[in-house]
Amino acid sequence: MTLITDIRLRRILDSRGNPTVEADVVTESGGFGRAAAPSGASTGEYEAVERPPGEAIAAAREHAVPRLVGEVYAGNQRDVDAALHAADGTDDFSEIGANSAVAISMAAAKAGADVLGAPLFQHLGGTFRGENFPIPLGNVVGGGEHAADATDIQEFLAAPVGAPSVADAVFANAAVHAAVADLLEERDVPCGKGDEGAWAPSIDDGEAFDVVAEAVSMVQDEVGFNIGFGLDVAGAELYDSVSGTYEYSDVSRDTDEQIEYIAELVEEYDLVYVEDPLDEDDYDAFADLTDEVGDQTLICGDDLFVTNTDRLIEGIDRGAANSILIKPNQIGTLTDAFDAIELATENGYDSVVSHRSGETEDATIAHLAVATDAPFIKTGAVGGERTAKLNELIRIADDAT
Ligand SMILES: O=C(O)[C@@H](CO)OP(=O)(O)O
Ligand SMILES: [Mg+2]
């Protein structure tokens, strides 16, 4: 019933106004799935390769579509994704593009769910999923590669760890986002928004820490549950491999100083989450920091692991980080993303399913997080392409998908 009978690929707009790949998958019994690839700005060196959308579409039409249409059942995700790998023939999707691959992979999953008449999370995760929800990490202030002339640290995140429901958590993050705007106005700091909808003021990191800590504590008092504070440092973007230092606007830190700086921030702000505090090649530094503060906070590898099980195995062996960011487009298929989450879970690493800075209204990652029982999701706080995922989580919790 789920035999794939048609695949259409097109260029659509992403949230930055750039083209991206959208896929439609149709099955023999009329099942339909549509999904779109997101796109990163602070991309990891070891990510699967995103090709210009026009080229990715042409290559996928030539190599992948003939291997899928009339050949593979959309309901069998591993077969779909194996066919995508076989069609590509490289180990980084540089032939058909990880953007075409992930769009087709996710669209096939949705078509499979459609034939079953089941919500996507249930098709992917089974009937016992849908009871637990990820804690949403909400980006409220940001800079780095996501906004010009703003903070050095890429993302200051609200983490409503004590929220009684996913809806309460989502609204709490939006409230922190609004409180940050009020506090910045009081300080006469004008600001626009960065790529993910976070405020992008022209302030230094120290001032951003003050503002976000105050906003978090104000909203925490209002809502009456615990809201933590987290960061995505995007360390690889700050790291200068020639000098071996992390280059901030006002200071440069060598690796030991960077480890100490992050450890101090964990203490001072009681950080519950720190993503990519160090360079993507430095497993040893990740291991040292994890050793120092890993019992107090999550040290998450994004550019370090790029959702890749080989890189995660290396991290597990060396004690680097205790958490992994999961971005399906970093690795190209849902199967690969699932395998990374399962390997992480088996080894006590918390998975954080994540958006990209360039997004669409596609909400697959909300279902992926619920399907895999992931403890966290990072998908912004406000903005249509971000709320598409947050509102989908609320609907899943309300049993309304
Ligand atoms: O670094 C990150 O975690 C992501 C998403 O927040 O950014 P980008 O998609 O630009 O890689
Ligand atoms: Mg990151």
Q: Do the beta carbons of residue 298 and residue 273 sit within 8 Å?
A: yes
Residue-level pLDDT at 5: 98
Distance, in Å, from the CA atom of 224 to the CA atom of 251, rounded to the nearest integer, reads 38
Residue-level pLDDT at 400: 79
The closest alpha carbon to 194, from 233, 137, 155, belongs to 155
Instruction: Say if residue 354 carries a ligand binding annotation.
Output: yes
Mean pLDDT of the chain: 98
Phi, psi for 234 (deg, rounded to 5): 50, 55
User: Does the annotation mark 196 as catalytic?
Assistant: yes
Distance, in Å, from the CA atom of 129 to the CA atom of 142, rounded to the nearest integer, reads 33
Phi, psi for 201 (deg, rounded to 5): -75, 155
Instruction: Say if residue 330 carries a ligand binding annotation.
Output: no
Q: Do the beta carbons of residue 348 and residue 354 sit within 8 Å?
A: no
pLDDT digits (tens, 9 = 90+) for 265-302: 999 999 999 999 999 999 999 999 999 999 999 999 99
Number of Cβ atoms within 10 Å of the Cβ of 264: 11
Kindly give the distance from the C-alpha atom of residue 93 to the centroid of ligand 1, in angstroms, as a whole number.
20
Residue 367 tokens, joined? 């279902």
4-117 falls under which CATH superfamily? Enolase-like, N-terminal domain (3.30.390.10)
Q: Which of 156, 173, 357 to mutate to test the pocket of ligand 1 (most atoms within 8 A of CB)?
A: 357
Residue-level pLDDT at 1: 81
Residue-level pLDDT at 122: 98
Residue 97 tokens, joined? 């593009």
Instruction: Say if residue 22 carries a ligand binding annotation.
Output: no
> Do β-strands 228-232 and 199-201 pair in parallel, antiparallel, or remain unpaired?
unpaired
* Strand segments (E) across 103-153: 135-142
Residue-level pLDDT at 168: 98
Give the bridge partners for 27, in sequence order: 4
Among candidate residues 95, 196, 280, 385, the one labeled active-site is 196
The closest alpha carbon to 166, from 369, 385, 337, 325, belongs to 369
Residue-level pLDDT at 401: 77
pLDDT digits (tens, 9 = 90+) for 223-246: 999 999 999 999 999 999 999 999
Number of Cβ atoms within 10 Å of the Cβ of 90: 11
CATH of the domain spanning 135-397: 3.20.20.120
pLDDT digits (tens, 9 = 90+) for 164-203: 999 999 999 999 999 999 999 999 999 999 999 999 999 9
Q: Is the pTM of this model over 0.95?
A: yes
Which residues of the chain carry a pLDDT beneath 70?
Answer: none
Kindly give the distance from the C-alpha atom of residue 386 to the centroid of ligand 1, in angstroms, as a whole number.
13
Give domain limits for the chain. Answer: 4-117, 135-397
- Alpha-carbon separation of residue 220 from 207, 370, 393 (angstroms): 20, 25, 22
Kindly give the distance from the C-alpha atom of residue 109 to the centroid of ligand 2, in angstroms, as a whole number.
26
The predicted complex's ipTM stands at 0.99
Residue-level pLDDT at 226: 98
CA 61 to centroid of chain Cα atoms: 27
Q: Do the beta carbons of residue 370 and residue 396 sit within 8 Å?
A: yes
